[in-house]
Amino acid sequence: MNIPQLVWIRRDLRLHDHHALKAALDTGEKTALVFIFDPAILNLLSNKHDRRITFIIESLEELEKILNENDSSLIIRIGNPSEIWPKLVDEFQTKKVFFNKDYEPYAKKRDEEVSKILSKKNVSVQNYKDHVFYEKHEVLSQSREIYKVFTPYKNKWLETFKSQDSHIPNYKPNTKNLFTTKPLNTLLTKDLHLELGFHRMSDNLLKGGTSFALKRLHHFKDDIDQYDEWRNIPAINKTSNLSVYIRHGNLSVRDMLRLPQSILSAHKNDGASVWMSEVIWRDFYQMILDVYPRVEKNCFKPQYDSVKWVNNKEHFKAWCEGNTGYPIVDSAMRCLNATGMMNNRLRMVVASFLCKTLLIDWRWGEKYFAEKLLDFDLAANNGGWQWSASTGVDAQPYFRIFNPYSQSEKFDPEGEFIKTWCIELSHFDKKTIHSPHDTDFVEQAKAQCVIGKDYPHPIVAYKVQREKALFMYKAAVKTED
């Protein structure tokens, strides 16, 4: 079988607005799509009930259905890409390989190795910007340097965007040039979960695939006006819930920009402006990881590598399980464990609590999120954790420490979110639910919840820990000086 061109899809699981696929199909040569399950990534997933595997397989299954309608089919392989690709191009006598760029350290190394191997076999390798709107060299300061503070980066990003007439390209592929094959070697007849050694998670709240992504994007149009306010209120679930779809490429970054831009081009809208800022934050963190790959393992600000974290393992276990005695923290962590989801406000609250109240290394929390988040993205996860821990690029100052009680009262004033996930607290009223340990025994009996028995006492005292955190950070900064 001869397939002149192959497109390697990875975190771009869609057929629409796909830069590499369009470039390949525009040549007029017959083209097929390849997806490789990489053991180097799969082996990092110790939980064989990982929700992301189901999400990816669902996305691939939807792609396969569309391709089958065009008499085409995905090529699925399991193995080291550096070993798989030479075999693929030999098997199909392929002369050109296309893919969209990935900016993570492992991905860059992998793609460089594959490109070198294929070049030695006289196979042309072409890659394209698709995962971000602007790459590192496209948004620079007047002195042609990388921005390390978000606001000036955002301003320059918007200035660049406007200078280009706010044009958002749409890479529509010509599916007529898809390689056709009969009989179809369809993955729809296979049990990929079984082959990979994972279990299908039928209870995912978000289903993989572009059709579901586009429906959710369409529904978000009704909520984007209030996005700037509603995104912080976990009980109403009015965030976009699109992050998992952009993470796996069911939507393109351009899809994410068209919605706010269509609104902002007509009139001012705070919700759309904040949404657009979030997309720009995404570009910013991708750029930081691309330029400074050391942040994957180390603090962006080197002086904080000397912070003497306490790293109490029992406290970390309580944080992971949602048993700290701080209701807003516990409800957020229990939600994460059960669904793989957590909104950004809660991510900041639990991260600040881990680092600045429990005094535990941000890398412990980052790793736990990497294991649990359905929308896990290295750049965004790393950037968010380092921001909260005050160790990262443009991070909050170390003396800004989120008070879990005031955060709870402000963003879950009725205690609705807490009652959903900390069911044992559901009979406390809205005044006492944020700090139930302050109630007396009569109130606890009335609420049918004895603190220390049915729900834990706070594992640490917030005010005491706050002072310890300030001392811990000051010592690190002083050591650097």
Q: Are residues 346 and 408 in the same domain?
A: yes
pLDDT score of 183 = 66
Can you spell out the DSSP letters for 389-408?
Answer: HT-STTPPPTT----HHHHH
In a domain, 324, yes or no: yes
> Quick check: 421 and 322 in contact, CB under 8 A?
yes
The per-residue pLDDT for 392 is: 94
**Are residues 123 and 136 located together in one domain of the fold?**
no
Please tell me the distance from the alpha carbon of residue 459 to that of residue 354, in angstroms, as a whole number.
12
| Number of neighbouring beta carbons within 10 Å of residue 429 | 12
| 191 lies in some domain | no
- Token pair, residue 4, equals 């002149």
What pLDDT score does 145 carry? 96
Could you give the CA distance from residue 444 to residue 435 in angstroms, rounded to a whole number?
A: 12
Same domain membership, residue 144 and residue 115: no
Q: Which tens digit of pLDDT belongs to each residue from 209-263?
A: 999 999 999 999 989 999 999 999 999 888 899 999 999 999 999 999 999 999 9
**111-162: per-residue pLDDT in tens?**
999 999 999 999 999 999 999 999 999 999 999 999 999 999 999 999 999 9
357 and 396 fall within a common domain: yes
Task: Report yes or no: 447 and 427 within 8 Å, Cβ to Cβ.
Answer: yes
Q: Is 155 left (phi over 0), alpha (psi -120 to 50) or beta?
A: alpha
Record the tokens describing residue 113, joined without a space.
């190795």
Supply the pLDDT for residue 481. Answer: 45
In a domain, 405, yes or no: yes
Indicate if 460 and 366 belong to the same structural domain: yes
Both 328 and 455 in a single domain? yes
Same domain, 159 and 274: yes
pTM of the model: 0.95
Q: Is 475 part of any domain?
A: yes
φ/ψ of residue 232, rounded to 5:
-90, -5
> Which CATH number characterizes residue 110's domain?
3.40.50.620
Q: Are residues 28 and 49 in the same domain?
A: yes
Total of domains in the chain: 3
Check if the beta carbon of residue 311 is closer than 8 Å to that of residue 289: no
Q: In what order do the strands lie in the sheet with 31-37?
A: 75-78, 31-37, 5-8, 96-100, 124-128
Is there a domain that residue 229 lies in? yes
| C-alpha 54, offset from chain centre | 16
Spatial separation of the C-alpha atoms in residues 50 and 372, rounded to whole Å: 8
CATH number at residue 151: 1.25.40.80
Looking at the structure, do residues 45 and 23 belong to the same domain, yes or no? yes
Check which CATH number belongs to the domain holding 308 and give it.
1.10.579.10
Give domain status of residue 236, yes or no.
yes
Whether omega before 39 lies within 30 degrees of 0, making that bond cis, reads: no
Residues with catalytic function:
278, 281, 309, 344, 362, 385
Q: pLDDT tens, 353-384?
A: 999 999 999 999 999 999 999 999 999 999 99
DSSP calls for 422-450? -GGGTTS-TTTTTSGGGS-HHHHHHTT--
Range of the domain at 280: 132-169+209-291
Task: Work out the burial of residue 245: count CB atoms within 10 Å of its CB; fewer than 13 is exposed, 13-18 middle, 19 or more buried.
Answer: buried
Question: Is the dihedral angle over the CA atoms 265, 270, 272, 277 positive or is it negative?
Answer: positive
- The mean pLDDT value of the chain amounts to 95
State both tokens at 117. Answer: 């191997």
Q: Is residue 182 part of a domain?
A: no
Together in a domain, 267 and 222: yes
Return d(Cα 453, Cα 338) in angstroms, integer. 23
323 & 423 share domain? yes
Same-domain check for residues 463 and 363: yes
pLDDT in tens, the chain (481 residues): 899 999 999 999 999 999 999 999 999 999 999 999 999 999 999 999 999 999 999 999 999 999 999 999 999 999 999 999 999 999 999 999 999 999 999 999 999 999 999 999 999 999 999 999 999 999 999 999 999 999 999 999 999 999 999 999 999 999 999 999 876 667 888 899 999 999 999 989 999 999 999 999 999 998 999 999 999 999 988 889 999 999 999 999 999 999 999 999 888 999 999 999 999 999 999 999 999 999 999 999 999 999 999 999 999 999 999 999 999 999 999 999 999 999 999 999 999 999 999 999 999 999 999 999 999 999 999 999 999 999 999 888 999 999 999 999 999 999 999 999 999 999 999 999 999 999 999 999 999 999 999 999 999 999 999 999 999 999 988 755 4
